[in-house]
Amino acid sequence: MPESLPATTWASHRLEWGRKTYVMGILNITPDSFAGDGLVENSLTSEEIVARAVEQAQRFVSEGVEMIDVGGESTRPNFAPISVEEELERVLPVIRALHAALPADVIISIDTYKAEVARQALDAGAAIINDIWALRHDADLAALASERGVPVILMANMRGIEKRDIVSDVMRFLAGSIDRALAAGVAWERIIIDPGIGFGTTPQENLILLRRMGELRALGRPILLGVSRKSTIGLVLGGLPPEQRVEGTSAAVALGIAQGADIVRVHDAREMVRVVKMSDAIVRGYTV
């Protein structure tokens, strides 16, 4: 069983590491999600998109999800960046509606690397910043996390970085981003790390990261694993499309928990909550 870390507390929230694995449900407020679950369609009004997002989030929560990650810009390979204004137009109405509709103990995360988007999302009800560039894209994001006293998820993004040994390279990247966070005043206990499966990594490197993810525990921070429906799973399973990768995702999630994952970020909430409960019973212990 992985060694427990001190709890992360802020505002009215508390995450107790080691006691259980938290499940984060994905809300893609985009038209071009790689997983095929984007909620934006040209035929829908903004009100209809918000209603769909709230409905999906409420379903996630009813299925056992404790965190909701809201993203307004696709992060798939070769994605086209959008402006701050367009990203805000997508995510703010959804976050406000979720904040009003969901139980107070459900934690809303904003998936962005732009400080201004994160700032307004926090004002609207988000409580965590999830940065796919680990504070390396927008210098103001670290200061914002420090100022607001919220946790920040630092994801290893190896796009454009020369690699030699993928685990060492990811650990070096994350260690550097942890230093940036600390230098900006982010509290140690409010830093979460993510190995960045599929972000500038080959399928073989992804499998190595999953196999050796436990080595990231040396960084001393909780680990978020985002492997749901990733292309490596489709490749291993013979070219399956994203919506047919639930069994492969289940295997990766279960083995990730055995390696020390503290949060799993998923598309298929009902199935993954069950996988997490069974994995936790084995890895963390279960009392009848």
Q: Which positions are annotated as active-site residues?
A: 230, 265
Please state, in angstroms and rounded to a whole number, the distance separating the CA atoms of residues 276 and 286.
12
Instruction: Please list the alpha-helical segments (H only) found in the chain.
Output: 46-62, 84-101, 115-124, 140-148, 166-183, 203-211, 231-236, 246-259, 269-283
Please state, in angstroms and rounded to a whole number, the distance separating the CA atoms of residues 150 and 65.
20
Query: What secondary structure does DSSP assign to 178-220, as a single string?
Result: HHHHHHTT--GGGEEEE--TTSS--HHHHHHHHHTGGGGGGG-
Tell me which residue of 200, 203, 186, 91 sits closest to 146, measured CA to CA: 186
C-alpha atoms less than 13 angstroms from C-alpha of 33 in its C-beta half-sphere: 21
Measure CA 43 to chain center.
Answer: 28
